[in-house]
Chains A and B, each alone.
Chain A
């Protein structure tokens, strides 16, 4: 899970930084003059190491975005409209409030497992956050639902089960109970 990987990277680097700070505090027990040459040399090393880490990090991650350059054509489109306070999710376009309400209360959209799906997400009022939680409750993807724009989120969902949609952009007093749902079979 990418979240846990990121968390452990954070823990490692932050722990290292904290250790260095603790070490520095301890070092003041035996005071001596600072050797500036050594310090500057160390700083230069730190600069190179940090630059290397950042450049490698950029190289590994800059190309990967949620807006993929896929050559595959999605097999299915799922239309999503966010509105205070539910997500209307439907296999057919949602063009007005009635269709949004129908989509909110209808049976969940079925997506074939392994199918390449495109979610077309917009909002009818304020900014919402369309987020996809897999059957185990992990956040696997998200995009903003902005009024006046349609964001296209492409996913290949292999794990069958019920997927939940939670709102990830504060949209009012019902923000925490704003949901949607679809099934992967």
Chain B
């Protein structure tokens, strides 16, 4: 559906109520066009999109008007996230956490680049440059801020479980936050949530570098792990599990101290082997 409809309203005065209805209908349709996907309380689940191909859509950046996503991912893997510039909600916080996690994980430029794509058809490349500036990465060539056509946006959104819904009362889009790791055009990891945990992103970058992560823990309340992720500090902290693992050897040391130092008479008395009653 093209946003700029070329249907002209009839000129006859007698058609005015019909015109109003038509315009209203058009407005409603336009609003519906500004929404895509199925809203949900849960963030998109990586399992549904992993290893799927991202469509090679045409994008526009401040530097170039005609570029394709494949040009970027053919050179290096990329992290892709979708925002809109008039966002008063999670977008800027998410981008800031992404930037922090990226600087923590390192490798930006050598191992991967970042594409921040707007899903709002109103956004221009100038708008995106302002976001880049406010994030402090305007001069960083590895942060690519881009826009695309409405069709292109929908294709990319569909391939990643991304959805957005226009909320007229707030004049804002409702949408999840996610960043995907794309290697050679395929989604290899996806992190969804309100912020980007540094530890998770480190793992994602590892996979982009070719280091396979053979297992991951499912979310859920599990007690006594060795290391537990603390979302407040965005880091892993020692948990009771590690203490339990160290306790056995510690107890052995204590037993040795008890037997050999605390309990015995010191020094040990020599014994009279002639009185030993076994051969």
Contacts and interface: CB of A to CB of B under 8 A. Distances in A.
Interface of A: 66-71, 73-77, 79, 92-93, 95, 118, 120, 122, 148-152, 154
23 contacts: A66-B214, A69-B210, A69-B211, A69-B212, A70-B212, A73-B183, A73-B184, A74-B51, A76-B51, A77-B50, A79-B47, A92-B48, A93-B45, A120-B47, A122-B218, A148-B217, A149-B218, A150-B216, A150-B217, A151-B214, A151-B215, A152-B213, A152-B214
B239 to A, nearest CB: 14
B186 interface: yes
Contact of A149 (B45, B48, B213, B215): B215
Contacts of A150: 215-218
A63 to B, nearest CB: 13
Contacts of B222: 148
B61 to A, nearest CB: 26
Contact of B214 (A67, A73, A93): A67
Main SS of chain B's interface residues?
Answer: loop
B204 interface: no
Contacts of A93: 45, 47-48
B275 to A, nearest CB: 32
Range of interface residues on B (Cβ < 8 Å):
20 to 34
A79 B46 CA distance: 12
Interface in B195-233: 210-218, 220, 222
Contact of B47 (A70, A73, A76, A77): A77
B150 to A, nearest CB: 28
Contacts of B144: none
Nearest to A151: B215
Contacts of A66: 214
Given A66-B214, A70-B212, 17 more contacts: A67-B214, A68-B212, A69-B210, A70-B210, A73-B51, A75-B51, A76-B51, A92-B48, A93-B48, A122-B218, A148-B218, A148-B222, A149-B217, A150-B216, A150-B218, A152-B213, A152-B215
B47 A67 contact: no
Contact of B210 (A71, A148, A149, A152): A71
A51 B215 CA distance: 33
Contacts of A118: 51
